[in-house]
Structure 1
Amino acid sequence: MHARAVAATTTALLGTVAAVFPVPGAVAAEADPPLVIAHRGASAYAPENTLAAVDKAAQLGFRWVENDVQRTKDGELVVIHDDSLARTTNVEEVFPGRAPWKVKDFTAAEIARLDAGSWFGSAYAGARVPTLQQYVRRVDHHHQKLLLEIKNPQLYPGIEKQTLKVLSNEGWLDRPHVAGRLIVQSFSADSVRTVHELKPAVKTGFLGTPSVAELPEYADFTDQINPSYRTVSLGYVSAVQAFTGPHGRPLEVFTWTVDDAATAERVAGYGVDGIISNKPDVVRAAVDGG
């Protein structure tokens, strides 16, 4: 067990019960408002995971943006959420005979031909699926911070090492970035653990809601437990924050994906450290964060 484990044990029963039966109206102790993170950029207002969405987040004044990283057939890292290109590009029109249009089955050059903006609105026609290199350069241009999700790592062996290499090449593994401008997260505990082992200085997050009993194991390799807002409660947040992570600080909780004021106020009341949102302006107005 880690430091603060005694406190965690004390709150474990509360966390287990409250995670299943949240206490109506329960409010955490007074604290700073949570960070607000623009999900896939400001994706309610510009096509998700595009440079335009980064720009929109910056225009709205948001310091943190979140993105998703996957890999092309020829080994380029690109920023896109789905493992298929079909929902957010015109791939079916450009390459009609190549269903199911998986990212891993297309080269970077082929993906660069696709329109990743028209589906969202004509004003964004011609937007492209950015490479990770292009994306981090735009984030850096705006002096923003990045919550990077390694998506579907089981499809892309070695993607953790490759992601860290791109970040390193772009200057994102220097002390200022690692100290406060970068978090790498995944739904895969193995992927998060791999990132921590490859580059222990990098802050990491696990996407999900592990049981309180599992938290000591997670605290070995992740700095955050990032659950859906549907599974979070005051007791669970308190239980997570009672553990100390690999960098000697209490584990944090970033919850997702919150797009309305009432939910934002509720999860802020639980004491979460961050709220990930497609409508970060709505959340900021509700919790006075950002």
Structure 2
Amino acid sequence: MATDPRVPTRTRSLAPLRAVFSVAAMSMMLLCAALPERVGAYVLEGPHVLDLSAKAMGRIAALRVNQKLLVYPRTPEEAPTVFDETAIYVMPERFRSDIASERIQRTHLVFADSSLTVIDGRTAVGENRFDLYQRLLRSRSRPRLIRTLNQLGVETAISSLGRLDERVVFVLGARYPDESVSQLAIDKETFLPVRLLLVEGDAEAAGPSLEIFYDNWQKVQSGWFPFQVRFTVNGRLAREIRVADLRVNPSLPSALMDLEALKASVAANSADTPQGQKQEAVEAVQQAVEDFQKKFE
């Protein structure tokens, strides 16, 4: 068969090979887009991600937040119980939340690594896992983010790429899609935290998981703050926080954020109670504590 002298034989022989390489390259690009977690070479290291996240969240000195706390029942047919809650952030060490209703009076106060919860004038024993959401919001530097996450059981040296709903996220603490260990998901575009997963126990005997979703981030002076926080337990919506309004750098009495002052107040109220009424009061408060905690299980 005659060969067209106008087309070099070498060029014609390479054309099918180039087509194969083009198809292979396109397939690889599509695979990388569909499975970002597999492209380990492009994953930023955990401390670098947290550095960018801290810069994205920005600096906020103090906040007073008026918010609605919705506690959802186990049966979806029932309406949630709604509490008016005030939350105060004094970055980075202090946090206080107050619920005052006809059903219960509750104060939760945090200073550094110490905390105290008072329900109906009596100290409650043990920390409620639902109160942990604010730790991340107070951590706005890389060292503090690393410290906070390590305390919550997140291994910040591990990072991977994954998907959460329709967004690509950095996953710190796990190799996506592993959800058997505690981890934090950070939006790849905004570098804002979007989900904190807390798992009790180890990978072989994992207990109930608590997911905390940080939604609707809004600009607050030189920083960002989520106006909605959702909590799910083993996939079930258990509670939700909706910010009604907030005030930046409010004037706060010093005793309001003082852990020792709150302890002294509890002790004084207990001392003022007549001896004959103390046992009944303790039993009533204990029942109130148990009823309140059951709402969050």
Q: Compute the TM-score of the two structures, normalised by the length of structure 2.
A: 0.27
TM-score (norm 1): 0.28
- Larger strand proportion of the pair: 2
Greater share of residues in helix: 1
Q: Based on CA coordinates, which of the two structures has the bigger radius of gyration?
A: 2
